[in-house]
Amino acid sequence: MATVPLQAILHRHYRRKTPKFLMESEKHKRASLYYTWKRRNCLIANGAKLCNFRPANSRVLNITVRASSNSSATTCDSADVIFHKTFSLQRTEKVEGKILVRLDCGKDEENFQLVVACNLPGKWVLHWGINYVNDIGSDWDQPPVEMIPLGSVPIKDYAIDTPLKKLTDTEAGFIYEVKIDFNTKSSIAAINFVLRDEETGSCYQLKGRDFKVPLTNLSDDDGNNIGTKQEFSIWPGTLGQLSNMLLKSNGASEDGNRDSNSKESAQKKRDLRSFYEEHDIVKQTLVDNSISVCIKRCPEAANNLLHIETDIPGDVVVHWGVCKDASKKWEIPTGSYPAKTSAYKTKALQTQLQQKEGGCGCSGLFPLDEGIEGFLFVLKTNNNTWLNFMGDDFYIPMPNERSFEKLEHLGEENMPKSAKIDSSLESGEHVEVSQEVSASTDEIINEIRHLVTGISSEKSRKTKSIETQESILREIEKLAAEAYSIFRSSIPSFTEKTVSESKEAELPLKISSGTGSGFEILCQGFNWESHKSRRWYMELHDKVAELSSLGFTIVWLPPPTESISPEGYMPKDLYNLNSRYGHVDELKALVNKFHEVGIRVLGDAVINHRCAHHQNQNGVWNIFGGRLGWDDRAVVGDDPHFQGRGNKSSGDNFHAAPNIDHSQDFVRKDLKEWLCWLRKEIGYDGWRLDFVRGFWGGYVKDYMEASEPYFAVGEYWDSLNYTYGEMDHNQDTHRQRIIDWINATNGTAGAFDVTTKGILHSALERCEYWRLSDSKGKPPGVVGWWPSRAVTFIENHDTGSTQGHWRFPGGKEMQGYAYILTHPGTPSVFYDHIFSDYKSRISALISIRNRNKIHCRSTVEIIKAERDVYAAIVDEKLAMKIGPGDYELQSSKWCLAAEGNDYKVWEAL
């Protein structure tokens, strides 16, 4: 007897019948049906890498279930097992610890010592720098040489990395320590630092900002100063005996009044006092767990029993539902439920698993009626962490009686067509199966073609205004979204006729768009310091499963090419992919690993400029080597630094390296070949385009149409509008410049929404939340005008990390994420924030976004945009508010889904 899967993941691809921007996400893009034909009692849905499972455990127990208080116990023997799979899980555990910061005063009142220590195991490094008196801004400087401890490493010209030393005497409870000596006669105003764990790459700050130890009374207190809240803290243990000595050494008399001369001197220069502070930190470590699912048929009870067992410690809640067809739409089943089950709104059930003896995990039993197509669930642990499978819900296909009766007497020769296809796939043969597009989708596509034809000709571009063209493009997007919705919800019907016709059908009009499915969530998979280990690809390889479980669908990797600068942004030989981040083979392995879990990969393509290999006759570096051996004709002719013989630049010159002249045919040809080579050789799915302000967007269109990325985003970055140092409320001209660039690419690439980031800065930092609504009541950034092409973010490797060129307001990062993860556009999350104390809160917001299917074209209704509060409703599914002001919703219609410091998110009931 043989059985066939009753539920399989169907991958469909409208490569020939549907424009690019109507394609589904990774699960649905491939044009294949994957089945696995197994003998006897094995049922596997093998599709979008859903079954990278451990071997099933052959040991099967008799299970007794109590369906409800009214039902009788039912026992099933092992012969009735019809499904048994084990899923591997990775979760994070938090370990709490302390960072010690101590300032010791020397005997002569001039020499001080700063001590930083930590009591958690790790490979700790102090990343630090200083500010001098009269410095303007918050940028760090390197300290004088005599101040730098032995074993330190300079970071360019602005910081120092000093490893913490392991202590032999840990009586005080701290096991790693570093000491920095300095003299008060220097002109140093403050010492700034963060503590970094080299093992995990995580940085630990003070309430989201760098630690700052002020050494003068002239140092500004911007919220991250330490040692200033009290005049003196008594040190614990034996150090307490030094308290009186330290008070006297700081000029304090017995009656508590400082000597008048000392006070006058301190007011002129510094009022430096010893102090001791401890700050809480939480280190997160990855823990491997598993969850096993077993299904048994129980003819006596006319139902199936689903058994879940996991080794996750503590309380575990299963958030579950069922689906009755292939749409995988969550529904609450009828019938009896397990003990400790409650309803979650009207969408799902929540059941707490029962602890196993010995406290080594928990398990639960779920009775399910016949006629159910699948069982869907996610897990919630006792620390409110949600666990899913590779960014998606766990899905268990459910057999029913009908299929067993139908297939019980089928032999190999009488297999259904789909099963025969599966047999060939099991032996390694790949079969392509296309699907006919529904009539309603065809009508939409025809309308799109008509609209595209209306703006594609040279004559039309000249006669139609930019506003008219943009209006047509927006109408196309609406139609695309409608067709995409039909595409997602339709049920496939495959025939032999379809297979033969699909090989001959061709789409007469090619439409290229790198905007993904619309449901993308982007992770920046590196920071400014990632290159230092020289094995970043391998380090990130270990985090792939976790990034998938958090819900990310795309990851942006650092520049892969050989580069003059270690970060990769001064490329030299474009075909040499051995960089400071690792070897090319490690890069390929990393990309393959991401693909295994369903995450797309963006390559960081730096094509605005390129560093030369040789000098010309005048000693100027503008002759290139390697596989792309260009001469000075490839360099723009209007940058005097590099004496190029090309045409004038079509954008702004970079000046640090020769700007490439993209108007040259040979340059464009070579770059298109290089991008296509990267797609094939490495497996990149798209691009992050560096410094696109340096060349015309029309060239980007050429590159995108040649390389056909799934997703592309450009870094078009220029300053926002200010008047007398104050940011203007109206930033229309700023976002218009970004819109113009996107329009020049013909919409083949999106752009980072710098406008939104800048406005969020002022709104949150100055408590001016009224800025988050433009004059027409829409979001004031690019996301308010062209949301499907807006990639929203609050931090990246340039603005945050150790560069800190435009750091997001400290302690308010989660407000920023509450905004971008609930609003339209494609949100991007910075690596440093993912692997920090924000992780669980960011994960919760991503889950809410995915659960409610918020996408890049979702609609926003701004409810409030006042001085201290901003509130909005998105797609009538989500409501959110940020800011210290009050805003609440009617509890009868909304359920609070997430909240934190000055932000809340609700889901519609």
The full DSSP string for 516-545 is: TTS---EEE---TTGGGGS-HHHHHHTTHH
Among 271, 632, 715, 813, the active-site one is 715
Say what the pLDDT of residue 474 is.
Answer: 58
pLDDT(373) > 70: yes
Question: What does the CA dihedral 456, 459, 460, 463 come to, rounded to 10 degrees?
Answer: 150
Percent of the chain at pLDDT > 70 equals 72
Considering the chain, what is the average pLDDT of its residues? 77
Q: Give residue for tokens 């150790």.
A: 802
CA distances from 12 to 25, 611, 875 (A): 10, 43, 27
- SS3 assignment, position 660: strand
Is 715 among the catalytic positions?
A: yes
Tell me the mean pLDDT in the region 745-757: 95
What is the gyration radius of the CA atoms in the chain, in angstroms? Answer: 31
Q: Point out the least confidently predicted range of 42-51, 390-399, 804-813.
A: 42-51
What is residue 425's DSSP assignment?
Answer: H
Say what the pLDDT of residue 251 is.
Answer: 40
CA–CA separation, 634 and 623 (whole Å) = 9
Structure tokens at 710: 């799934």
CA–CA separation, 672 and 704 (whole Å) = 8
CA distances from 849 to 52, 817, 864, 874 (A): 26, 11, 21, 10
CA–CA separation, 789 and 86 (whole Å) = 40
pLDDT(417) > 60: no
Of residues 247 and 153, more confidently modeled: 153
900: nearest Cα among 831, 845, 834, 846: 845
Strand partners, 298: 303
Strands 124-132 and 188-197: antiparallel
**What is the residue type of 633?**
R
559: nearest Cα among 541, 539, 574, 538: 574
Of residues 800 and 457, more confidently modeled: 800
CA–CA separation, 258 and 232 (whole Å) = 14
Segment of 77-81, 387-391, 715-719 carrying the highest mean pLDDT: 715-719
520 CB burial (10 A radius; 0-12, 13-18, 19+): buried
Neighbours of 286 (CB within 10 A): 13
* Phi, psi dihedrals of residue 355, rounded to the nearest 5°: -65, 135
Say what the pLDDT of residue 267 is.
Answer: 41
pLDDT(869) > 70: yes
**What is the residue type of 909?**
L
879: nearest Cα among 908, 850, 840: 908
CA–CA separation, 348 and 332 (whole Å) = 6
Let me know: does 621 contact 611? Beta carbons within 8 Å.
Answer: yes
pLDDT tens digit sequence for 546-575: 999 999 999 999 999 999 999 999 999 999
- Would you place residue 258 in the very low, low, confident or very high pLDDT band (cuts 50, 70, 90)? very low
Tell me the mean pLDDT in the region 645-659: 90
Of residues 908 and 95, more confidently modeled: 908
Angle at 550 between CA 549 and CA 551, to 5 degrees: 90
CA 574 from centre of chain: 27
Say what the pLDDT of residue 63 is.
Answer: 29
Let me know: does 550 contact 388? Beta carbons within 8 Å.
Answer: no
Say what the pLDDT of residue 231 is.
Answer: 37
Of residues 802 and 265, more confidently modeled: 802
Let me know: does 437 contact 29? Beta carbons within 8 Å.
Answer: no
Strand partners, 319: 350, 378
Of residues 440 and 643, more confidently modeled: 643
pTM: 0.53
Of residues 854 and 304, more confidently modeled: 854
101: nearest Cα among 281, 283, 243: 281
**What is the residue type of 861?**
E
CA–CA separation, 288 and 539 (whole Å) = 17
Angle at 728 between CA 727 and CA 729, to 5 degrees: 120
151: nearest Cα among 165, 137, 141: 165
CA–CA separation, 773 and 781 (whole Å) = 9
pLDDT(46) > 80: no
Let me know: does 333 contact 372? Beta carbons within 8 Å.
Answer: yes
The full DSSP string for 173-199 is: S--EEEEEEEETTS-EEEEEEEEEETT
CA–CA separation, 21 and 516 (whole Å) = 7
- Would you place residue 237 in the very low, low, confident or very high pLDDT band (cuts 50, 70, 90)? very low
pLDDT(783) > 80: yes
The full DSSP string for 714-758 is: E-------EETTEEPS--HHHHHHHHHHHHHTTTSSEEE-HHHHH
CA–CA separation, 853 and 578 (whole Å) = 39
Say what the pLDDT of residue 450 is.
Answer: 58
Is 331 among the catalytic positions?
A: no
- SS3 assignment, position 705: helix
pLDDT(849) > 80: yes
Structure tokens at 450: 């008509």
End-to-end CA distance of the chain: 46
**What is the residue type of 524?**
Q
CA–CA separation, 807 and 137 (whole Å) = 12
- SS3 assignment, position 103: strand
Say what the pLDDT of residue 357 is.
Answer: 81
pLDDT(61) > 50: no
pLDDT tens digit sequence for 269-292: 456 788 899 998 888 777 889 999
Strand partners, 342: 350
CA–CA separation, 626 and 274 (whole Å) = 58
- Would you place residue 265 in the very low, low, confident or very high pLDDT band (cuts 50, 70, 90)? very low
The full DSSP string for 202-252 is: EEE-BTTB-EEEE-STTS---S-B-S-SSS--PPSGGGGGGHHHHHHHTTB
316: nearest Cα among 367, 282, 360: 360
pLDDT(19) > 70: no
- SS3 assignment, position 375: strand
**What is the residue type of 445?**
I
Say what the pLDDT of residue 432 is.
Answer: 34
**What is the residue type of 49?**
K
Tell me the mean pLDDT in the region 342-359: 86
Percent of the chain at pLDDT > 90 equals 48
Beta-strand ranges (E) seen in 299-426 are 303-310, 316-323, 341-344, 348-352, 354-355, 362-369, 374-381, 386-387, 394-397
* Phi, psi dihedrals of residue 535, rounded to the nearest 5°: -140, 40
Among 24, 670, 690, 813, the active-site one is 690
